[in-house]
Chains A and B, each alone.
Chain A
Amino acid sequence: MAGQTLYDKLWQQHVVESRDDGTALIYIDRHLLHEVTSPQAFEGLRLAGRKPWRLDANLAVPDHNVPTDSAERSGGVDGIVDPVSRLQVKTLDDNCGDFNIVEIPINDRRQGIVHVVGPEQGATLPGMTVVCGDSHTSTHGALGALAHGIGTSEVEHVLATQCLITRKMKNMLVRVDGKLQPGVSAKDVALAVIGRIGTAGGTGYAIEFGGEAVRGLTMEGRMTLCNMSIEAGARMGMIAVDDITIDYVRGRTYAPRGELWEQAVAAWRELHSDADAEFDTVIELRGEDIQPQVTWGTSPEMVLPVGGTVPDPEAQPTATAKEAVRRALEYMGLSAGQKITDIRPDRVFIGSCTNSRIEDLRAAADVVRGKKVAASIKQALVVPGSGEVKAQAEAEGLDRVFIDAGMEWREPGCSMCLAMNADKLGAGEHCASTSNRNFEGRQGFGGRTHLVSPAMAAAAAVAGHFVDVRTFAEDAQ
């Protein structure tokens, strides 16, 4: 019999009941909540007279609606100007209070984007099943966890039963062999994978990322990669536990200590695919081949190396593809054959659950240090992923680097990734964004998003147009 994949092991360890119809009841170790997808779930519990099954499995934090402007932020929940956003954040506070769920509130130093906060606090650990009413829950798979997004009905289901009714996915291995070039980051790997398999390529699969280039990533980089599994269609992405994982988890607030730590580490060491494990699909990339990536269209699969040119709709193989490219170019205000490096962003956004961790901010700061944002850039926002990231960045002086370059240093939250707060694009504006989705209107009505790595966003901010950060860095020397 073939060995087990990492996903097989995680699945097997959490099956409460297997049913004849192929579904199973799966136990959930950690449930993260935020203000947008939880109010209706709490309301459902109330209407049915139900209580949370296990309080200590839950952790809540507001992130989507919170203002990132420090003046507005200083007023806490009551200071949120938009009354609809204020009510939603307040509702999370009230629900957590009513149901005794631990919440990290808006102006707590630990507050931040739920997918930054979970690992940072040790609230998400290797071997766990982790769910949240947010598709980027795949992020936590970087720790060797089975982590995926759920809808609000399932948020209610997990609160009430500590379980999910689900069905096992197929196994996909995405192996990136070799080494990444300097200036090429986990974000570029994620976009290159999506460019290869498409936004539905991972549908029905759990992805495991492996290979030398993946093992060489820091935990921050691994989280970036797993975060964007959903943009490849896979609900979950994961990476085997190794020393990098364990060193990251050690000493975090909610991580085990003492004897429990030793016991946990022994179990976590088993969290890798067996050498003879079989995957349903294997995708192989060479690390050396991956170039800095820039999306040009309205789907993350519409992506090219920075040296590329915008595609021609007529060159597409099918009528649907022709129409999709034509429509994307029209929305994006681009023409076939245009060089990626000729695209001029109006705004720059460095942040989001994909790229707002300390390593991301360091990479961006390294590019802009001692330079100025181009005059054509209306705004360059840097939004740290959490209060802890913000404090660390300030201790390293990164805030000064950004401010001196003409960028804005903000308070933590989801911000312009999905523009539920005041941070948004105007119609027709192009944005060099380190976020995860370039859908129509995602960053603001009529806004035009180009997904890039933090270093690429920073380079575009300085140059005023997209530029290959590898040569940009050399030119600067």
Chain B
Amino acid sequence: MKAFTVHSGLAAPMDRANVDTDLIIPKQFLKSIKRSGFGPNLFDELRYLDEGQPGQDCSGRPLNPQFPLNLPRYAGASVLLARENFGCGSSREHAPWALEDYGFRCIIAPSFADIFFNNCFKNGVLPIALPAETVDSLFQAMYASEGYTLEIDLPEQVIRTPEGETIAFEVESFRKHCLLNGLDDIGLTLESADAIRAFEAQYRQRAPWLFGSIC
């Protein structure tokens, strides 16, 4: 996983509430057995005017001129501003894969759906929840100023705006540690292998019917 320390990037809007993971990456692209290459199909149904197909070259597809990410001013954006309950619905990790593959490293919203929020951290994408008024003021400042760039400082847990404002944010310490160091948490869990084995041994005594039925 790509480490995340301090990231400075252009902000772009996804200005609607309850953006679901079907909208982030539609189902036909979930047929891929790979982990990469989903970027061109991020927000496919909003971004293009036609229906996308897996494996298709997207460069010749008709773009939706109304969709913000298609506007020149948001080209190269890496910080997504979003609204309430971002990432609701399906647990598909293809959603953060698509965001990351497109180039987004950070998503700022008033709230996130639990599974999506969790999936982001596994992929070097930092979701930041801020009060709705704070997010709204970031939206207004971004709309008012082309090239609106935010600096996300994970070690310090602050966002620095072009106006010189700093906005503090919360992040769980274990998740922060993994992101800062780009750590694979399977390796970390396997450091507790003895504890898992010990648990399993006493658990097998306590609930023997849970072992060995499927083989």
A residues with a Cβ closer than 8 A to B are 16-17, 19, 21-23, 25, 27, 29, 36-37, 39-40, 43, 48, 50, 53-59, 64-65, 82, 84-85, 87-88, 91, 102, 122-123, 125, 127-128, 133-135, 148-154, 156-157, 160-163, 165, 167, 199-200, 203-204, 230-231, 233-235, 254-256, 260-261, 263-264, 267, 299, 301, 320, 323-324, 327, 418-420, 427, 437, 439-442, 445-446
Contact = CB atoms under 8 A, between A and B. Distances in A.
B23 interface: yes
7 contacts: A22-B172, A65-B31, A84-B32, A261-B209, A267-B207, A418-B27, A437-B90
Contacts of A135: 89-91, 115
Interface of B: 16-18, 20, 22-23, 26-28, 30-35, 45, 51, 54-55, 83-85, 88-93, 96, 111, 113-115, 118-119, 122-123, 172-174, 184-186, 188-190, 192-193, 195-196, 199-200, 203, 207-215
A56 B211 contact: yes
Contacts of A254: 213-214
A231 B35 CA distance: 26
Nearest to A167: B172
A40 B209 CA distance: 31
Contacts of B90: 134-135, 418, 437
Indicate the member of A135, A167, A327 with the most B CB atoms within 10 Å. A135
A39 B114 contact: no
A48 B45 CA distance: 35
Nearest to A436: B89
Contact of A235 (B55, B114, B193): B114
A163 B189 contact: yes
B93 A56 contact: no
Contacts of B34: 39-40
A102 B215 contact: yes
A154 B122 contact: yes
B80 to A, nearest CB: 17
Nearest to B121: A153
A233 B113 contact: yes
Given A134-B91, A235-B115, A161 B190 contact: yes
Contact of B22 (A234, A263, A441): A441
Contacts of B54: 84
Contacts of A264: 207, 209
Contacts of A260: 208-209
A52 to B, nearest CB: 12
Given A133-B91, A254-B213, A441-B26, A157 B185 contact: yes
Nearest to A48: B186
B203 A263 contact: no
B115 to A, nearest CB: 6
A420 B111 contact: no
A251 to B, nearest CB: 13
A150 B114 contact: no
A199 B213 contact: no
A437 B27 contact: no
A130 B22 CA distance: 24
Nearest to A427: B51
B16 A323 contact: yes
Indicate the member of B27, B188, B208 with the most A CB atoms within 10 Å. B27
Contact of B31 (A25, A55, A59, A420): A420
Given A157-B185, A439-B23, A27 B209 contact: no
Given A39-B33, A128-B210, A162 B196 contact: yes
A200 B84 contact: yes
Closest A-B pairs by Cβ, 9 of them? A256-B209, A153-B122, A151-B93, A39-B33, A151-B119, A149-B91, A445-B51, A135-B91, A200-B85
Contact of B33 (A91, A160, A165, A234): A91
Given A199-B85, A260-B209, A84 B55 contact: yes
A128 B192 CA distance: 21
B23 to A, nearest CB: 6
Given A25-B196, A442-B27, 15 more contacts: A29-B210, A36-B31, A37-B92, A43-B33, A56-B211, A56-B215, A125-B210, A148-B115, A151-B119, A162-B196, A301-B18, A420-B31, A437-B20, A445-B45, A445-B51
Contact of A324 (B17, B20, B45, B92): B17
A55 B85 CA distance: 36
Nearest to B34: A40
Contacts of A150: 91, 115
B93 A152 contact: yes
A439 B54 CA distance: 20
A207 to B, nearest CB: 12
Given A418-B27, A420-B31, A17 B195 contact: yes
A233 B186 CA distance: 27
Nearest to A323: B16
Contact of A437 (B16, B22, B32, B192): B22
Contacts of A160: 186, 189-190
B30 to A, nearest CB: 5
A256 B30 contact: no
A135 B90 CA distance: 5
Contacts of A16: 192, 195-196, 199
A351 to B, nearest CB: 16
Nearest to A38: B33
